Amino acid sequence: MYNSSIRWLALGYFSYFFTNGVFFPFIPIWLNHLGIDVSKVGVLISLGLIARFVGSLVIMKMIDKISQIMTFIRCLSVITFVLSLGFMVGTEWFSMLLIILSFNFFFSPMIPLTDILTTHLQKSIPFEYGSVRVWGSVSFILSAFLTGYLSDRFGYQTIIYILLISEAYTIFLVIMHPNFRLGHRVHREVRDISFSELLKDREIVKFLFCTTLLQSSHAAYYGFSSIYWREIGYSIHHIGTLWSVSILSEIVMLMIFEKINFSFFKVRSIFLYSTICTIARWSVVAFSTSFLVILFSQLLHSGTFTLCHLASMKFINRYSDKEMILLNALYSSLGLGIGLAILAIISGFIYQHFHDNHNLVFFLMSLVASPVIFFRPK
């Protein structure tokens, strides 16, 4: 039974990140294709990220049993598929706003909820988090490359078709879920925990500060890199390749994380390595237009995102089940939600008002990550 649960978790990550591999690199291009200018695309992406922030907090706060998680994931998968159909008919800015807000609100909790299932199952049977999570990265690289190739050959509408196929597969997967052995009440003996109580812990505050800056420094990358690379002359196929290479580096890091004894290092040290990679990566993207140089910088994604995420899971796993649920909600909603949204808005402003200096948005991201060097959790 445990083996079937582990296989299901791997497939779950595969399906969620396949959707992300379509959404993040190519929905901005799709919106631009519809005639929505870049600054308004930035607003849409930013508001979508705010919806992710709210969705993670609201939905995950509703859960007080690990055993409830599969029911929530099943409902969320159906809702997001229905909302994805809106991309087929919506063409105006306001209709896209409603679709993107709703989609992000309901999709955002699915990955952190699966993270909770994974870390909880690790308490029952020993297995490496990276060996399961790596399938999400495999699917991202596959979807980014496939979507880039097919949309370049058959037109931008292909982006939406692939998104719908991915969402349909997710529904099939969650219906065919195994019977997880993950307990019932989340620590009955512990009183209900609020977000405010968690934030009284100084180490948690440091953790959230650190992860918010590191993860949100990807705002320009998620929202504008595809558009920026088109501006400097790269085809949509080349853009898909750049995204794919970054995730390839993520796959390698997930596979070797335990092997190279990163698990021995303190969370504080891993965050430092991630920060150094982040500053280097965004500085290179900001000041180079060479395809080979940018391609090389994409390898640093293994440090900017993957090391940060692995350190985060290592930190969160210290806590009880209910605390894990709330910490995952805060981690995903701040670093992967509101922080990204704020910086995406700023990036959109730069794009609108500094037409000859669009590369500055990436240099700004390196500055955003810099304070983490001095303020990291133990």
Q: Where exactly are the structural domains of the chain?
A: 2-374
The residue among 25 and 232 whose pLDDT is bigger is: 232
Residue 187: pLDDT band (50, 70, 90) is very low
Task: Please give the Cα distance from 65 to 63 (Å, whole number).
Answer: 6
Question: pLDDT at residue 186 above 60?
Answer: no
Task: Please give the Cα distance from 324 to 313 (Å, whole number).
Answer: 10
Q: Give the pLDDT confidence of 255-313 residue by residue, as tens digits.
A: 887 676 555 578 899 999 999 999 999 999 999 989 999 999 999 999 999 999 989 98
* Number of residues that this document lists for the chain: 378
Quick one: pLDDT at residue 344? 79
Instruction: Retrieve residue 223's tokens.
Output: 């929202």
Contact indicator for 275, 370 with CB cutoff of 8 Å: yes
Quick one: pLDDT at residue 2? 59
Which CATH code is given to the segment(s) 2-374?
1.20.1250.20
| Integer CA distances (angstroms), 281 to 143, 212, 246, 301, in order | 23, 17, 11, 8
Reduced to 3 states, what is the DSSP secondary structure of residue 342? helix
For the segment 248-260, the average pLDDT, to the nearest whole number, is 82
For the segment 160-174, the average pLDDT, to the nearest whole number, is 93
Strand partners, 65: 185
Residue that the structure tokens 């335990």 belong to = 258
Quick one: pLDDT at residue 293? 94
For the segment 68-85, the average pLDDT, to the nearest whole number, is 92
Question: pLDDT at residue 135 above 80?
Answer: yes
Quick one: pLDDT at residue 61? 83
The residue among 75 and 116 whose pLDDT is bigger is: 75
The residue among 57 and 260 whose pLDDT is bigger is: 57
Question: pLDDT at residue 183 above 60?
Answer: no
For residue 211, which amino acid is it? Answer: T
List, in order, residues 6 or more apart from 108 with CB less than 8 Å away.
51, 52, 53, 55, 56, 59, 332, 333, 336, 337
Quick one: pLDDT at residue 7? 85
Task: Please give the Cα distance from 222 to 48 (Å, whole number).
Answer: 12
Q: Give the pLDDT confidence of 104-129 residue by residue, as tens digits.
A: 999 999 998 998 888 878 777 777 78
